């Protein structure tokens, strides 16, 4: 019997492949199933390890994504996973697959973005690998971080009546992607064109040069708040909420009128005639932090700049729902980023266009 990978999706495939895998070493505290693995070698700190793979034509389109931005983003998405464990990234290793169309100077530009991210976030590049590639550009980064052993936060700790919080705003990265894809289509075949992105700079920045929310981790530490559960929003708010609920054996209610959305995101959704809440719930690549805290810390969380309370945790039998402005409830579905579904992704590069450089 043949099972199509697309029928399981990314996380279904991971669960199937990793079922029955258990740690053989005492130092393996937590393995597969969270934003990062947690290793315990003694001392005051736990070690965090995470890895991400970025593929040309799947995760980025070189017809409108500068190489320096790709390098920066590749680093940031890994750093975000470490922050999602309430930890601090310290080192990364970088492995790249390079096709013949890239020059040494091109890869230097890519590394310029990596080094800039590492400089800003205080991270060391400590190794990696390079290889020839027949399928375009591939970047794989492993990030190593650390966390105080009494401060580590997993996805599975949310409890009934915990409040659900999210940093920043949602949907901007997705709308930035839609904007770039539209301009690519409009100017298809033209080598020299200057699209008008006036007034939409924030959307482009959120898509092309996202930031990891180190500031949120620092604010939580300053207020002595340790979340009960946390995850970064990479695949869309709906997907991440379902991950938290599944791992915590809980349900949740979030409120449509509490979801933070930037003005540019709203304006762009209207221009595209898209449902704004759908974009915010399922767009992905926001790299904000979604976390839960006990109800007793409700007032303390409200003092955190840029952090929004959007709902609360319930018993698992009550399910996972979005409460609309009219009070009606819609069941949450994981409709965010799924790189293994059959249809081509909106950011896939099928044009064969030459890359842009900065």
Q: What is the CATH number of the domain that holds 302?
A: 3.90.650.10
Residue 338, pLDDT above cutoff 70? no
Q: Residue 351 carries which DSSP code?
A: S
What is this structure's pTM? 0.89
- Domain for residue 16, yes or no? no
Q: Are residues 322 and 207 in the same domain?
A: yes
Residues 271-296: pLDDT tens digits?
A: 999 999 999 999 999 999 999 999 99
Question: In this structure, are residues 238 and 281 in contact, taking their beta carbons and an 8 Å threshold?
Answer: yes
CATH number assigned to the domain comprising residue 50? 3.30.1330.10
Q: Are residues 135 and 32 in the same domain?
A: yes
Q: Are residues 127 and 268 in the same domain?
A: no
Instruction: Please tell me the distance from the alpha carbon of residue 56 to that of residue 72, in angstroms, as a whole number.
Output: 15
Q: Are residues 56 and 182 in the same domain?
A: no
- Domain for residue 185, yes or no? yes
Domain that holds residue 270: 163-190+201-331
Query: Among the listed ranges 10-24, 54-68, 186-200, 335-349, which one has the minimum average pLDDT value?
Result: 335-349
Question: In this structure, are residues 324 and 330 in contact, taking their beta carbons and an 8 Å threshold?
Answer: yes
Mean pLDDT of the chain: 89
Beta strand pairing status for 124-132 and 88-98?
Answer: parallel
Query: Among the listed ranges 116-125, 152-161, 185-194, 275-284, which one has the minimum average pLDDT value?
Result: 185-194
Q: Are residues 226 and 321 in the same domain?
A: yes
CA distances from 116 to 18, 92, 124, 172 (A): 35, 13, 11, 23
Residue 309, pLDDT above cutoff 60? yes
Residues 6 or more apart in contact with residue 50 via CB below 8 angstroms: 35, 36, 37, 78, 81, 82, 142, 143, 145
Q: Are residues 137 and 258 in the same domain?
A: no
- Domain for residue 312, yes or no? yes
Instruction: Please tell me the distance from the alpha carbon of residue 199 to that of residue 17, in angstroms, as a whole number.
Output: 45
Confidence (pLDDT) at 354: 29
Residues 73-90: pLDDT tens digits?
A: 999 999 999 999 999 999
Q: Please count the CA atoms within 13 angstroms of the CA of 84 that sit on its side-chain side.
A: 30
239: pLDDT confidence band, cut at 50, 70 and 90?
very high
Q: Are residues 288 and 320 in the same domain?
A: yes
Nearest to 200, CA basis, from 180, 181, 186: 180
- Domain for residue 4, yes or no? no
Confidence (pLDDT) at 119: 98
Give the three-state DSSP class for 119.
Answer: helix
Q: What is the DSSP string of 200-222?
A: -HHHHHHHHS----HHHHHHHHH
């Amino acid at each position: 019997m043949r099972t199509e990978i697309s029928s399981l999706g990314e996380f279904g495939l991971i669960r199937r492949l990793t079922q029955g895998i258990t740690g053989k070493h005492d130092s393996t505290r937590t393995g597969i199933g969270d934003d990062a693995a947690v290793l315990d070698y003694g001392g005051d700190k736990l070690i965090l390890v995470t890895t991400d793979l970025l593929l040309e034509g799947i995760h980025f389109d070189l017809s409108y994504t500068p190489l320096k931005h790709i390098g920066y983003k590749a680093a940031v998405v890994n750093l975000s996973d470490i922050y999602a464990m309430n930890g601090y990234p310290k080192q990364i290793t970088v492995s790249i697959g390079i096709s013949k169309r890239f020059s040494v100077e091109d890869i230097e530009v890519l590394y310029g973005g990596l080094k800039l991210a590492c400089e800003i976030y205080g991270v060391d590049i400590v190794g990696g690998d390079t290889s020839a590639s027949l399928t375009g550009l591939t970047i794989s980064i492993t990030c190593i971080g650390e966390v105080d052993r009494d401060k580590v936060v997993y996805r599975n700790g949310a409890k009934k009546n915990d409040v659900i919080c999210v940093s920043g705003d949602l949907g901007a990265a997705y709308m930035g992607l839609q904007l770039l894809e539209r301009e690519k289509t409009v100017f298809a075949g033209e080598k020299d064109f200057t699209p008008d992105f006036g007034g939409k700079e924030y959307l482009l920045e959120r898509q092309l040069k996202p930031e990891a929310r180190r500031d949120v981790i620092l604010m939580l530490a300053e207020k002595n708040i340790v979340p009960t559960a946390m995850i970064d929003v990479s695949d869309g708010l709906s997907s991440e909420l379902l991950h938290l609920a599944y791992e915590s054996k809980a349900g949740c209610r979030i409120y449509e009128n509490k979801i933070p959305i930037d003005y540019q995101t709203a304006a762009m959704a209207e221009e595209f005639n898209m449902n704004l809440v759908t974009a915010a719930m399922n767009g992905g690549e926001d790299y904000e932090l979604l976390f839960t805290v006990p109800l007793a810390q409700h007032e303390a969380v409200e003092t955190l700049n840029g952090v929004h309370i959007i709902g609360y945790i319930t018993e698992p039998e009550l399910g996972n729902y979005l409460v609309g402005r009219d009070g009606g409830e819609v069941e949450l579905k994981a409709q965010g980023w799924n790189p293994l579904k059959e249809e081509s992704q909106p950011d896939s590069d099928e044009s064969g266009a030459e890359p842009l450089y900065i």
